[in-house]
């Protein structure tokens, strides 16, 4: 096992997405904070990379029971959740924050588990 493999967060089949592994965040609050802290250039790069592999990633995750998902597969699923978090800023708003919301915040009280 190489050093890169031992520190990899994602399954080897998705090694090309490893540069975006900082988006493997377990909670909606973490994903939202990451989105707000990211530039549009960063959001676009992440979004372009993950959407190109999204169908394949979903199919890969579907091979595992949610109760018995290995950590690297769970990270891949979290990456898909982050793709959803990045979709509106990239596709619609062209900015990380919801337009015209000022200092308004929205706290999620329920989210998918795992």
Q: What does the pLDDT profile of the chain (114 residues) look like in tens digits?
A: 554 566 899 999 999 999 999 999 999 999 999 999 999 999 999 999 999 999 999 999 999 999 999 999 999 999 999 999 999 989 988 888 766 666 767 666 666 677
- Residue 58: its H or E element: helix 40-61
- Predicted pLDDT of residue 3: 45
- Predicted pLDDT of residue 94: 84
Residue with the two structure tokens 């190109």: 52
Picking from 32, 17, 18, the residue whose alpha carbon sits closest to that of residue 82 is 32
């Amino acid at each position: 096992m190489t050093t890169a493999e031992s520190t990899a967060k994602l399954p080897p089949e998705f090694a090309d997405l490893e540069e975006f592994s900082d988006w493997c965040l377990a909670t909606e609050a973490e994903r939202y904070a990451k989105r707000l802290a990211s530039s549009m250039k960063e959001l676009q790069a992440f979004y372009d990379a993950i959407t190109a592999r999204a169908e394949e990633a979903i199919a890969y995750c579907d091979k595992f029971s949610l109760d018995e998902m290995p950590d690297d597969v769970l990270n891949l699923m979290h990456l898909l959740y982050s793709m959803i978090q990045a979709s509106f800023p990239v596709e619609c708003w062209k900015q990380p924050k919801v337009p015209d919301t000022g200092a308004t915040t929205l706290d999620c009280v329920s989210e998918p588990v795992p």
